[in-house]
């Protein structure tokens, strides 16, 4: 995969397809290649040129283990779009990546044709703040959870009860989480340590880029009312909710998510 030198760091990225550019921004702790399971093939088939990349904190992009802010990630994404010389681009992100897309639409509207926020949010409620602080304490402690227990926690926090109620799906997901769990890298720890005591809801009233906010009905990490709140304050903002989907809704319900993306970009 090629790398781009932007904003003082190196970003690992990949581009597939032809047509208008779509940039996909991943959430905390995950590499850009996750988009390749479902979203990239669908978007390429629909006639788009799709860029995925590893946010700072995710090797082989610069890990920035000493710390980062959301503004750094926004500047990274802006730098990558400029590097590709194909803006304005369609932009979509999930969770932390949705925050990046929201702030990019606000700060650099000339780079954004339309934006989609999956599990977007302008603030965190008390549960998410407490969960984040607990995660920081766990990282600092050096404690490693038993693999099966960590897999079960990951599943219950990120998947819909509908998925976990299906024995085959539950087994597949739990096996995946057990296999991919383990030690957290310094870069991911730096992503997790970013400020969680923020409230940008009122600021988003100034966004003028066309925006779609997608909530996942069973999302425990970013409950859908926070995603609806973002759409409600953006002039002309649109909200849609995907049923039977948790925080990983783009993986649980890819057909519904892909349809929402493609229909909105084409509208």
Q: Going by DSSP bridges, is the β-strand pair 89-94/238-242 parallel, antiparallel, or unpaired? A: unpaired
What does the alpha-carbon distance between residue 146 and residue 93 come to, in Å, rounded to a whole number? Answer: 31
H helices within the chain, ranges in order? 39-45, 70-84, 96-107, 126-141, 147-158, 161-164, 167-180, 186-192, 224-233, 249-252, 254-266
Residue 205 backbone dihedrals phi, psi, to 5 degrees: -65, -20
- The arrangement of strands across the sheet holding 211-216 comes to 3-6, 9-16, 49-53, 21-25, 89-94, 112-118, 211-216, 238-242
Torsion of CA 107, 36, 230, 263, to 10 degrees: 100
H helices within 49-108, ranges in order? 70-84, 96-107
3-state secondary structure of 87: coil
Given 61, 121, 227, 247, the catalytic residue = 247
Whether 166 is catalytic:
no
Given 30, 95, 132, 227, the catalytic residue = 95
3-state secondary structure of 111: helix
Residue 236 backbone dihedrals phi, psi, to 5 degrees: 75, 5
Cβ neighbors of 70 (< 8 A, separation 6 or more) are 96, 99, 100, 103, 194, 195, 198
Whether 95 is catalytic:
yes
Given 54, 72, 219, 227, the catalytic residue = 219
Whether 219 is catalytic:
yes
Tokens describing residue 115: 């934006």
- Residues recognised as catalytic: 95, 219, 247
């Amino acid at each position: 995969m090629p790398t781009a030198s932007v904003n003082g760091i190196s970003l690992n990225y990949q581009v597939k397809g032809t047509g208008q550019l779509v940039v996909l921004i991943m959430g905390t702790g995950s590499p850009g290649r996750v988009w390749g399971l479902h979203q990239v093939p669908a978007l390429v088939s629909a006639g788009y040129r799709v860029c995925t990349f590893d946010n700072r904190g995710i090797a082989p992009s610069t890990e920035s283990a000493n710390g980062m802010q959301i503004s750094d990630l926004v500047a990274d994404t802006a730098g990558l779009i400029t590097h590709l010389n194909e803006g304005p681009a369609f932009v979509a992100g999930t969770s932390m990546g949705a925050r990046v897309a929201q702030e990019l639409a606000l700060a650099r509207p000339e780079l954004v044709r339309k934006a989609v926020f999956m599990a977007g949010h302008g603030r965190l409620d008390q549960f998410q703040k407490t969960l984040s602080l607990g995660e920081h304490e766990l990282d600092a402690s050096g404690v490693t959870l038993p693999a099966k227990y960590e897999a079960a926690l990951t599943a219950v926090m990120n998947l819909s009860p509908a998925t976990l109620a299906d024995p085959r799906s539950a087994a597949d997901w739990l096996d995946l989480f057990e296999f991919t769990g383990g030690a957290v890298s310094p870069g991911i720890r730096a992503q997790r340590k970013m400020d969680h005591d923020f409230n940008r809801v009122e600021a988003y009233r100034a966004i003028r880029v066309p925006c779609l906010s997608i909530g996942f009905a069973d999302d425990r990490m970013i409950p859908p009312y926070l995603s609806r709140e973002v759409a409600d304050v953006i002039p002309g903002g649109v909200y849609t909710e995907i049923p039977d989907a948790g925080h990983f809704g783009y993986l649980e319900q890819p057909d519904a998510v892909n349809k929402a993306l493609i229909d909105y970009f084409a509208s």
